[in-house]
Chains A and B, each alone.
Chain A
Amino acid sequence: MTALLEVAGLARAFGAVRAVGGVDFAVEDGEVFGVIGPNGSGKTTMFNCILGQLRPDAGRVRFGGAEITGARPLALARLGIGRTFQSLQVFGSLSARDNLIAAAQEYVGTLAGRLLAAPDAGLTGRAEALLARLNLAHVADKPAGSLSYGQQKLLDIGMAFMSGARLVFLDEPAAGVNPRIVGEMAAMLRALKAESGATFVVIEHNMDFVMGLCDRVMVMAEGKRIALGTPAEVRADPQVLEAYLGG
């Protein structure tokens, strides 16, 4: 397998606080790569530096061999990198179906062509299939803002897959989700993974969730990588135990 995403020496400080202090890792094509760490360990800041929401102070990011350091979110999306945000980010006034169509319509034809295209840009079929897969078919016509938290969360994740992204970043997909359905969420992600063939990078707090889902896990603490390996290796690492339990 080859590295789809390579991150080298990535760093970002806020004033005197080094939120991310030189992180290296590579994500193999086709794997599910987990990122865990205590609150404030720099996981989300690292995501935002890779995904163009923040400018890194130092370091390089390569995607499929091409340099993407500091690229804008739009450019990354066009390259086939999807993402979700830590907080819910759906288009509240659009229906659930329209949320999914919106997530893929810009990949169909040209900007000018879309003015004259069919209202659904030919995406209704794909949207319906994904809605069914997400168990959201019964609320397809409801405004996304009126759905339950769990439904919005699923929709939010679905949107990251709608355009056929090769690499999908998920920022805490299980956060705030009813503990009883966290297992369902993991199963859903595995199914989406199997169907889309996309590579995942997942930030998560919920240990069981990460350990059950990911092929490899990176552990961060205080802006640095302290461990990287299979879930079993990481779980046994004394440094990880210290970061989580000591302190």
Chain B
Amino acid sequence: MQEILQVTISGLATGAIYAMVAMGFTLLWQTTSTINFAQGEFVMLPAFLMLGGIVVLDLPLAVAFVGALLISAALLGAAFKRAIIDPMIRHGVLPLAIATIGLTLALKNGVKAIYGAEAHPFPHPFPVEIWRVLGVAFSSYDIAVIASVAAVVFALNRFLNGTMTGRSMQAVAQNPEAAVVLGIDVKRLILYTFVVNAALAAAAALLVTPVYLFKFDLGESLGLKAFYAAIIGGFNQMRGALVGGLIVGVLENLSAVYFAPAYKDAVALGLFVLVILFRPEGLLGREEARRV
């Protein structure tokens, strides 16, 4: 019983990170129908930048993080939208998705060419200790990750629901045409969603890299799982991405311990298949009408 609790909590920590990446994914899909195959690399690149700041420039982690966050927001947020999404969006969903595959190749192999294919250690932003409460062992790091993600989600929620800009962003995500009629500056707000996505990915990088170590292919399975999480929860809802991420994280961890460690990576996939076969709109999603 205690063990199940332990496994569940560390699963929640992993799932919280999936959820953060998945929420960004959902934002881009809602506003521009972008399927961002490079989402995992959007986590890998800031991790690489932070490591560069720490190793080469001898910066403290906090400063390196802020620097990486800003560069990510500019490069993977604004520049990504202007240089790749804007010119290609009129070609449709597939060419855009293929372009993000091209971007994945370029980013991953660029980092590999510069920094090699080995795994590098990455400093923990929070202390790692084992806490025991009523016979249950917790990792303080897992708790800190869950708390950090909760804080980010809370802040994002306040921003999206509590501010004019945030509410306009939601309006754009739900119905771009109507948003135009309402006099909302849709282009600027779409740009914001890209910046928010890049920032979420950078925050995920800070939390996940110490656990998995830094490697050029860090983002490969992360991006894939974030997508599965988004679908499982419901692709047209931020809440769905959050719930989907947590479910995937917890079930993955449980199956790794109790079922078949070798097939841990298949859990997200299995859930995803069940969801698209029996509830394509996702666990929390709204049904979208079949277009005639």
Contacts and interface: CB of A to CB of B under 8 A. Distances in A.
Interface of A: 48, 53-54, 85
Interface string B253-292: 0000000000000000000000000000000000000101
B239 to A, nearest CB: 21
B97 to A, nearest CB: 21
5 contacts: A48-B292, A53-B290, A53-B292, A54-B292, A85-B292
A110 B65 CA distance: 65
3 shortest A-B CB distances, which residue pairs?
Answer: A53-B292, A48-B292, A85-B292
Contacts of A53: 290, 292
A54 B291 CA distance: 10
Contacts, number: 5
A48 B290 CA distance: 12
Q: Chain B's interface: helix, strand, loop or mixed, by majority?
A: loop
A54 B292 CA distance: 9
Q: Interface residue tally of chain B, by bracket?
A: under 10
B288 to A, nearest CB: 13
A54 B289 CA distance: 10
A137 B290 CA distance: 36
A53 B290 CA distance: 9
Contacts of B290: 53
Contacts of B292: 48, 53-54, 85
A32 B75 CA distance: 62
A54 B290 CA distance: 9
Nearest to B291: A53
B286 to A, nearest CB: 12
B141 to A, nearest CB: 47
Nearest to A87: B292
B91 to A, nearest CB: 16
A178 B241 CA distance: 49
A53 B292 CA distance: 7
Nearest to B290: A53
A234 B290 CA distance: 35
A171 B292 CA distance: 13
Nearest to B292: A53
Contacts of A48: 292
Nearest to A14: B289
A175 to B, nearest CB: 15
Nearest to A85: B292
Nearest to A51: B292
A48 B292 CA distance: 9
A85 B290 CA distance: 15
B261 to A, nearest CB: 45
B1 to A, nearest CB: 46
B290 to A, nearest CB: 8
A121 to B, nearest CB: 28
Interface string B184-213: 000000000000000000000000000000
A85 B292 CA distance: 9
B170 to A, nearest CB: 21
A83 to B, nearest CB: 11
Contacts of A54: 292
